[in-house]
Amino acid sequence: MSEAPLPRVETTPIEGLLVVHLDLREDPRGWFKENWQREKMVAAGLPDFGPVQHNLSYNTQRGVARGFHAEPWDKFLTIANGRVFAAWVDMREGATFGATYSMEMDTSVGVLVPRGVANSYQTLEDQSTYSYLVNQHWRPNAAYPGVALGDPALGIDWPIPLDECVLSEKDLSYGPLTADMAIPRQRALILGASGQVGCALAAEFPDAHAVTRAELDITDPAALAAWDWRAYDVVLNAAAYTGVDAAETPEGRTAAWAVNATAPAALAALAREHGFTLVHYSTDYVFDGVNPPVDGYPEDAPLSPLGAYGQSKAAGDLAVAAAPHHYVLRTSWVIGDGANFVATMQRLAAEGVSPTVVDDQVGRLTFTDELARATRHLLESRAPWGLYNVTNAGAVRSWRDVAADVFAASGRDASDVVATTTQEYFASREAVAPRPLVSTLDLTKIRATGFEPENAEAALRRHLSSDQR
């Protein structure tokens, strides 16, 4: 048998409700089809919705009717044998609330039904079997809304009059669709919303639920267990312990591992359980900065962290990779709103200070709005899951180079920034974490998805001019 082609996918008036035309191979013995083939379905345009349970509904006679049911999961519906007339109504809040779609289904077609869209059908033949894959485990006590099959406002033209159909008592008890039945749509959750990255994500995703550590402490197992994760389809984890030097102390090491490693592992487990996409943010400190490739560290470079901070972040990267749907954005030299290197140099320039800045640590700046833009790009383009390097583009520069640019933009002479080495700068300080001397990350993979990072020097000029307004 030759390999089956990709299924043909059609959209419908209901957002996310997709009709899939399957390749049905028939001969005198019967027929064969690939009812669900993840790789081909995703390539054809279906979401990688992660089914965990397969259910079958066998109907003994023509005229059995079931629904409308809006269970709290996504479904992929097909017919194992027979024919049905199926109908759907969008119960999600928003402009398409109450929109309907209906069609006849046989063994050659499937339908992907997103959560919040109520599903129903009536059998057109005896011994029709309705098959559905779902991405949450069925629970006997699960509550979900339903709508009367005969609600006149829906305008469903049932082929068999409903008064001639066999319905359950539960389905007969449902009433018409009303505005107060609108199901809240899943949205994004931003963790660590008070930090530089979290603030940028909140600006990029204004409809997201942004929470601080005071609202949800991801190092607290009880708090994680009590949170309603079903309300979210994406979790953006911007929470991090970033005290590089403090992480070298006993207390700091414990805190760094709790936030940067143990908590991401817990989030990955929750992502497996609830089906959300987990987005996590990493760092160049997972590398030692010794003899990297000429274009910078690629995503698959061996991890080699020098200090406790980098070690905890490396462990978090590995933990997040266990989530079925995940993106890890590895970045460097982060600049946003709040305390950071650029803000410090601006303050020193204004105060008349001539600082000493290392010139043997090199890399590229990453502005938080660029990191947020890359996050949106990966999610909306449905790029392959995994790890992506994300920094601003352009020449590789030293911290002293960046400081000189800030001074020049602030009306000071660039030569007022004095160069030194990392060894000299930290010679008299205690509990200092080792730093990678080369932090350059290879951007080939993120570019291959269609994302072009903004030049770091141009982004710095824009950042500085916006601060001066």
Q: Is the Cβ–Cβ distance between 54 and 66 less than 8 Å? A: no
Is 69 noted as a catalytic residue in this protein?
Answer: yes
d(CA 429, CA 63): 81
Which residue out of 121, 132, 297, 388 is catalytically annotated? Answer: 132
Q: Is the Cβ–Cβ distance between 171 and 65 less than 8 Å? A: yes
Is 425 noted as a catalytic residue in this protein?
Answer: no
d(CA 73, CA 152): 26
Which residue out of 21, 54, 58, 69 is catalytically annotated? Answer: 69
The residue ranges of DSSP E strands in 91-167, in sequence order, are 100-105, 109-113, 117-123, 128-134
The residue ranges of DSSP E strands in 260-392, in sequence order, are 277-283, 326-331, 334-335, 356-358, 362-363, 366-367, 386-389
Number of neighbouring beta carbons within 10 Å of residue 61: 11
Helical (H) or strand (E) element with 18: strand 18-21
Q: Is the Cβ–Cβ distance between 307 and 244 less than 8 Å? A: yes
Residue type, position 27, single letter: D
Residue type, position 13, single letter: P
| Inter-CA distances, 86 with 75, 136, 180, 406, Å | 14, 22, 25, 63
Q: What is the gyration radius of the CA atoms in the chain, in angstroms? A: 27
d(CA 294, CA 271): 36
Taking the alpha carbons of 408, 412, 413, 418 in that order, is the dihedral positive or negative?
negative
| Inter-CA distances, 287 with 295, 310, 331, 394, Å | 14, 8, 12, 21
Active centre residues (catalytic) = 69, 132
